[in-house]
Amino acid sequence: MSCRPLERAFYIRPTAEVARALLGKILVHGAAQARIVETEAYLGLADAAAHAYGGRTPRTEVLFGPPGHAYVYLIYGIYECLNIVAEPEGQAGCVLIRAVEPVKGIESMRRRRPGIDRLERLANGPGKLTLAMGITRRHNGADLTRGPLAVCGGCDPTFEIGVSRRIGITKNPDALLRFYIAGSPFVSR
């Protein structure tokens, strides 16, 4: 890995704050690197849309653990989704990584997602980005502060942050907890 992973302290704060701060950072898995352009915050026990809403279970245990770890789960029986644990240990909160802009290792990403003609469509959704970057449920619980799956600081250019309702949920649907780099062609559609 050619970049330095974010330290655990980055994740020990309110989930929505972490979700906004992750925009522009670099998600790294092996040789693949991609700029985070879209996130969603899930507020644990206070959020009916969050997996942790029902409390601790074997499935959600990682959400209550140390921040800066991966929570990877299967959705619709097909797609794996990457979340990053936020909040102090013992409090559940996580950030869904919804879309990324491929930066390095693009040919490997294309091999994992054959038939995708445009770079903008390679990782513009939570299931698409995990496929493109080779992230699976075996990464559930991985410590993102140590790699090989990690988040590194980006070049932090100035950009406008868009805010909207989260996508595809029926519980707590009006919460404005989706954040994205406004105008990015890599954001999910």
Give the list of residues 6+ apart from residue 96 with CB closer than 8 angstroms, or none.
Answer: 39, 40, 41, 42, 81, 82, 83, 126
The fold of 8-181 is: 3-methyladenine DNA Glycosylase; Chain A (3.10.300)
How much is the pLDDT for 156? 63
How much is the pLDDT for 75? 84
Select the more confidently predicted residue: 10 or 155.
10
**Residue-averaged pLDDT of the chain:** 94
Each domain of the chain, given as residue ranges in start order, spans 8-181
pLDDT at 1 over 50: no
Closest CA to 126 of 80, 186, 166, 171: 80
User: Which amino acid would we find at residue 149?
Assistant: L
pLDDT, tens digit, 9 for 90 and up, residues 113-129 = 999 999 999 999 999 99
Closest CA to 101 of 9, 188, 2, 11: 188
pLDDT at 97 over 80: yes
pLDDT at 153 over 70: yes
Enclosing H/E stretch for 129: helix 126-133
